[in-house]
Chains A and B, each alone.
Chain A
Amino acid sequence: MAGGPGWFWKGFVMIPVAFDYVRPSTVEDAVAAVAAGGDEAKILAGGQSLLPVLRLRLAAPALLVDLGGVGSLRGARFDSGALVIGAMTTHAEVASSALVRAEAPLVATAAAHVGDRQVRHLGTLGGSLAHADPAGDLPAVAVALDADMVLAGPSGRRTVAARDFFTDIFTTALGPAEVLVEVRFPRMSGWTGGYEKFHRTLQAWALVGVAAAVRKENGSIAEARVAFTNMGPTPVRASSVEAALVGAADLGAVKAAAAHAGEGTSPPTDISGSAEYRRHLAGVLTARAVASAAGF
């Protein structure tokens, strides 16, 4: 292989279609670049989903706007009672942030479940949410916790609730010239969280994932939030499970509530499993995620 690009790789190399590249250092410049690029522009966050997509030539943008130079989009802070996480904060940073672990433990736990170490070092919270992969781990967390997405566009910023943000498979409420800049999680002191997913290998996408957060009073569940990954084109909030969990004080009660898990879902049937199988998994994983969150 000593011949540089070499005879061996010729014809086999998977490289993206050529594109222009800009690396703005402010949100305003990023929005301007995305607006100027129009339909031909793609936003690069950590690249852990986008780079494989580009290499497979499933997308062929003429312009990549790299948010890696926008330092203000990294990190977590408090603001008006909310835990605010910058869109370019990596999964590894989210998972290890003392602030996130204390105030939104479900977010930290789920971030630690994304991909593998290498992916978590570059992949970002905002990138994951904006990519809106039905099998991605974090959209369900945002929906379970009633997070708000803050979008920056040419005419300023607007906030979209997580439940309205995910509109279809790989599709969000982001406008053509908008950039997801931060995610606001309501401060939930006293809540605990659990995230469970079933996948064939540690780094594989979730066949099904369950994000659960609970608040207990006197040993039983007083409030619960549950949402599913990959049980439909967008994250599914499990309202009937949440209602059934109120008052649960042991694993048996949690399992009984988890039996509602398939309701209102439209999971895909694909090479990894049927819709029926996924409904079964959702029940099992719901019980595990809630039990882990509640300490049952």
Chain B
Amino acid sequence: MARVSVTVDGTRYVDEVEPRTLLVHYLRDQIGKVGTVVGCDTGNCGACTVLMSGPDHVARSVKSCSVLAIQADGCAVTTVEGLADSDGTLHPVQRAFHEQHALQCGFCTPGMIMATVDLLRENPHPTEAEIREGISGNLCRCTGYQNIVRAVQQAANGGAAPSAAHSAPVESASAESASVESAARPVAHSPAVTS
């Protein structure tokens, strides 16, 4: 066993892990961050994307199924559960995904949202081509990319819906957003700091 000390969504955890433990399994099974999902298990689909700080302390997107938990020792990790405010107010990217209905089955959504947060960190106003390249590490098996791209555009626009004229998605959804915020709140897994 090896000791890992990692800050996840603002809370510091110190745990004993097997060196072979993958970050995604540590997040889900050991500290209960089940908002981060396992999709393809092979590093292709990006559903398990989280942000992890590097040596320069900048948080960048990584696929948590392709990182050992022990590689995150000393790092700060942000999962989809750490984006909303403590009062449940959605992160602008979460709100945009909701308002643009940027999901069908929803399985890719946590990874898509984290990939989007990372893309907009580096490129706050991406073109559509840059958006599509920027989320190319994330697969939506429902192939619902149109609305995902619109959601990224909306988030980059400071919350204003993109001006795409053709078949704009449910514009009335924005009025309902407040009522569904609880859906994206961190789930009731109280962090168990072991030391």
Contact = CB atoms under 8 A, between A and B. Distances in A.
Interface of A: 1-2, 4-6, 9, 13-21, 23, 44, 47-48, 51-52, 54-56, 64, 66, 68, 71, 74, 90, 92, 115-119, 121-122, 201-203
Contacts of B68: 21, 44, 47, 51
17 contacts: A4-B32, A18-B20, A19-B19, A20-B19, A21-B19, A21-B70, A23-B70, A23-B73, A47-B67, A47-B68, A92-B60, A116-B46, A117-B61, A118-B62, A118-B137, A122-B67, A202-B133
Given A14-B41, A74-B55, A118-B137, A51 B19 contact: no
Interface string B40-83: 01111010010000110000111101111011010000000000
Contacts of A119: 43, 63, 66, 137
Contacts of B95: none
B19 A64 contact: yes
Contacts, number: 97
Interface of B: 2, 18-22, 25, 29, 32, 34, 38, 41-44, 46, 49, 54-55, 60-63, 65-68, 70-71, 73, 115, 118-119, 133-134, 136-138
Given A21-B2, A55-B42, A203-B136, A118 B49 contact: yes
A18 B68 CA distance: 12
B29 A48 contact: no
A2 B34 contact: yes
A122 B2 CA distance: 22
Contact of A121 (B19, B62, B70, B73): B62
B60 A71 contact: no
A15 B137 contact: no
Nearest to B45: A203
A55 B66 CA distance: 9
Contact of A5 (B29, B41, B44, B70): B29
A255 to B, nearest CB: 26
Nearest to A4: B29
Given A5-B29, A15-B25, A117-B119, A51 B34 contact: no
B46 A19 contact: no
Contacts of A5: 25, 29
A202 to B, nearest CB: 4
A4 B27 CA distance: 10
B61 A118 contact: yes
A115 B137 contact: yes
A74 B55 CA distance: 10
A18 B20 CA distance: 6
A21 B70 CA distance: 9
A19 B68 CA distance: 12
A71 B55 contact: yes
A121 B42 contact: no
A121 to B, nearest CB: 4
Contacts of B73: 23
A194 B34 CA distance: 42
